[in-house]
Amino acid sequence: MVHDAVPQAWLDNLRNEREDAILRIQTDDLRKAQLQKDAIYFLYDQQLEAMLDAKRDQENPFLNELAARCCLENAKKYDGQYYRLDAICVMSNHIHMLMDFSIQVPGDWNGRADIPNYKNLAELVGRIKGGTSSCVNKALLREGTLWMVGYHDRYIRSAEHYRDVLRYIVNNPVKADIVANWEDYPYTYLHPALRLE
């Protein structure tokens, strides 16, 4: 999210409410607990997305074509090296990405040893945000902070969850009534090996 996409106090409050709701889950059934936790995360994501889509007095840097392309190119920069970029969608004040980090894992990895030169999500998001900030600031002749501190991430738990997230990302501009078909939005990318079901 860009630095002013949502008020920080509102975001902190929403995160606290989410964590409190997760702590209140009372069941010994692990599957049922996970389903309840997933439902809480889904609700949180919906509330966050509604705030991101709200028409407020804020900077929307990625409405500019050069700025939006900066985001796409910086995310694609590490595709195939540190992750497979399965999908990305650049909206006016935030981006969604689905990344598969398994390409960094050697085929003979034992699950315990360190992976040499492994780059984690935090490091790569930092690289993407840093490169994008420089590019966008130049393109828009702006200075200062572009991104909000941190990022919002989700661990994909199943094949069904993966399909839902993939559809959600590419259909974001459709949901926002920008285009009728996701393929018509120039700032959405779907890995060529993937298809929407």
CATH number reported for the structural domain that contains residue 186 in this entry: 3.30.70.1290
**Average model confidence (pLDDT) across the chain:** 87
Q: Which of the four pLDDT bands, split at 50, 70 and 90, describes residue 116?
A: confident
Would 133 be classed as within a structural domain? Answer: yes
CB contact at 8 A, 148 and 81: no
Q: What would the two tokens of residue 20 be?
A: 């409190």
Instruction: Decide: pTM greater than 0.85.
Output: no
What pLDDT, on a 0 to 100 scale, did the predictor assign at position 18? 82
Would 152 be classed as within a structural domain? Answer: yes
Tell me the C-alpha distance between 28 and 47, whole Å: 28
Torsion of CA 65, 48, 7, 53, to 10 degrees: 40
Would 47 be classed as within a structural domain? Answer: no
**Segment (H or E) for 87:** strand 84-90
73-to-56, 76, 109, 114, 129 alpha-carbon distances in Å: 28, 5, 31, 30, 11
Would 9 be classed as within a structural domain? Answer: no
What pLDDT, on a 0 to 100 scale, did the predictor assign at position 24? 85
What pLDDT, on a 0 to 100 scale, did the predictor assign at position 2? 67
Beta bridge partners of 85: 99
Q: What is the residue range of 69's domain?
A: 59-190
Q: Which amino acid is at 154?
A: R
Would 98 be classed as within a structural domain? Answer: yes
* Half-sphere CA count of 187, side-chain side, radius 13 A: 26
Tell me the C-alpha distance between 98 and 85, whole Å: 6
pLDDT tens for each residue of 76-114: 999 999 999 999 999 998 999 999 999 999 988 888 889
pLDDT tens for each residue of 143-154: 888 998 888 888
- Residues whose CB is less than 8 angstroms from the CB of residue 1 and which lie 6 or more positions away in sequence, other chains included: 52, 93, 94, 147, 148, 151, 152
Would 11 be classed as within a structural domain? Answer: no
